[in-house]
Amino acid sequence: MSRRVLVTGGSIAGAASAFWLARVGFAVTVLESAPAFRPGGQNIDVRATGREALRRMGLEGAVRARNTGEVGTRFVDGDGTVVSEFGVDTAEGSEGPTAELEILRGALAQVVMDACEDSVAWRYGDRVTAVTQRDGGGVEVSYETGDDETYDLLVVAEGVGSRTRELVFGGEAQERTLGMYSAYGTIPRTPGDDDFWNVFHAPGSRQAALRPDDEGTIRANLNFLADSPVLDGLDDEQTRAALRERFADAGWQVPRILDGFDAADDLYVDWLRQVRVPTWHRGSVVLTGDAAWCVTPIGGGGASLAIAGAYVLAAYLSAADGTPAGDEAAFTAYDAWMRPLVEDAQDLPRGVPRLAAPKTALGVGALRLATKVAASKPVKTVAQKVTGGPQSTRQLPDLVEA
């Protein structure tokens, strides 16, 4: 009989975990709290170790087929004049903002989900309300809808604000806020749009960006620094109004973005925070993806780490003997393999993200100049840090398929 595993969270980390855990012989159920698959999200990239894990899934081609079509990155000034330009980086472990494997977040989650074995069960619209570790291994979980179930393992892949993580790990997870909000939404494409990632900086620690997608629309993004989570607790209408107030005088194409956000049905706002948990497992429960180690888009590589983490976890479990002690050893090995990658991604250069969101017009001018000399060492180091993706010189562990 296959051992049963419950994966909570049906996004990139959850789907990738389901993919591999089914491959190594587990009977997998994925529980997603949203009522249906969440397709939204912006352009993300898969690089370095994540790309190698994707290759092992046989999905590099499928991801390439959903490429957003982005041809590079441009920093622009208020009237749209190009200040500096970076092409697509084709080298692995590359340094430029636009990677070779660029895909929409929802598209990546869908590609991975579609590749999962038919045996994987997907359950929507419910969440775990209690977890009890059983003597002798396994967990009993209670659901919001009232059911109880027993599983051999529980993999928590619920993203940065994971509730099940809090149930099992109590206050052990620490959040390190970066003091920055990101607001994302899809807006109509206009004839004047090109296929670059166009990035604009405005005084007042504000950024705006437009990126192409493969769906005929434009993915827009507004970022700003804040001392506290000022948008938390606001509903969508209040969020739109707050963004409008903050960005009213920013210039460039920001009025168009604000109008677009008014109509967007996928507005997604994120108070950027890293998650740090001293250990990612307890008994038969293990954390993965953003729930374990959110690096934020500033650290870069959240999707790559999610893909790599799923593989590494399944690889060590595939070599384990199925006893609680074997699971524990596998979780420990997974933690040891992934942690250096995560810590590296979370270790931001001094001044990031403040460096990328200057307060004054003078600072914005200096930043634009800096993008022009991006080949210079300090800028290159920062650029590589925030865009390079999780890179390990170690081989991924071997995985034994069932």
- Does position 353 interact with ligand FAD (CB under 6 A)? The reply is no
13 sits near ligand FAD (criterion: CB under 6 A): yes
CB 292 within 8 A of CB 337: no
CB 292 within 8 A of CB 277: yes
The closest residue (CB) to ligand FAD is: 289
Q: Residue 284, Cα to own-chain centre: how many angstroms?
A: 25
32 binds ligand FAD (CB under 6 A): yes
Of the pair 39, 61, the CB lying nearest ligand FAD is at: 39
Please list, residue by residue across 183-192, b when 16 or more beta carbons sit within 10 angstroms of its beta carbon and e when fewer do.
bbbbbeeeee
The Cα 66–Cα 305 span in angstroms is 20
- Residue with Cβ nearer ligand FAD (131 or 225): 131
Closer to ligand FAD by Cβ: residue 83 or 293:
293
Q: Which is nearer to ligand FAD, 83 or 199 (CB)?
A: 199
Q: Does 9 bind ligand FAD (CB under 6 A)?
A: yes
Tokens 């434009």 found at: 218
**339 is a contact residue toward ligand FAD (CB under 6 A):** no
Position 127 contacts ligand FAD (CB under 6 A)? yes
User: Could you say whether residue 268 binds ligand FAD (CB under 6 A)?
Assistant: yes
Pairing of strands 4-8, 153-156: parallel
Cα(380)–Cα(75) distance, integer angstroms: 15
Of residues 12 and 53, the one with the C-beta less far from ligand FAD: 12
Among 6, 11, 18, 180, binds ligand FAD (CB under 6 A): 11
Which listed residue (163, 244, 368, 372) binds ligand FAD by CB under 6 A?
A: 163
Distances (CA, A) of 66 to 9, 37, 242, 296, 346: 23, 18, 34, 23, 28
* In the complex, least distance from residue 163 CB atom to ligand FAD, rounded to whole angstroms: 4
Question: Cβ(342)–Cβ(305) under 8 Å?
Answer: yes
**H or E stretch at 286:** strand 285-287
Identify the residue among 289, 299, 353, 388 touching ligand FAD (CB under 6 A): 289
Q: Which of 167, 184, 81, 176 is nearest to 127 (CA)?
A: 167
Q: Does 17 bind ligand FAD (CB under 6 A)?
A: no
- Applying CB under 6 A, does 260 fall inside the site for ligand FAD? no
The length of the chain in residues reads: 402
Using CB under 6 A, which residues numbered 171 to 200 contact ligand FAD? 184
Name the residues that contact ligand FAD, by CB under 6 A. Answer: 8-14, 31-34, 38, 40-42, 44, 105, 127, 157-159, 162-164, 184, 268, 289-290, 297, 302-303, 306
